[in-house]
Amino acid sequence: MAPAKKKTNKQVTKPTRGTTFINVLVWIVGVIVALAVGSGMIDETLRIPLIPAIITVITGWIVVIGTILSVILAIFDR
């Protein structure tokens, strides 16, 4: 019979002000990049070799809509 595992008391620490700012900044940059890539795919500026243009445009719309939904969900989660 295996010995019982000891319970550890882990404390959750709050992020410091500096790390919270960095997290928000990285998130905003990610949103901007996702919107830029999605709109480039929609305009066919960004093309994927061997993939039909319509698939690239549809994928671009999925990226843009997904990004907008994630921003809305993040705002309402706060």
Q: What is the pLDDT of residues 1-45, one digit of tens each?
A: 666 666 666 776 776 777 788 989 999 999 999 999 999 999 999
**Helix, strand and coil percent figures for the chain, each rounded to 5:** 65, 0, 35
Is residue 66 in some structural domain? yes
The domain of 72 spans: 31-77
Among candidates 1, 78, 72, 3, which has minimal Cα distance to 31? Answer: 72
pTM (two decimals) = 0.72
Is residue 35 in some structural domain? yes
Is residue 69 in some structural domain? yes
Please give the tally of structural domains in the chain.
1
The whole-angstrom separation of Cα 35 and Cα 65 is 9
Residues comprising the chain, all counted = 78
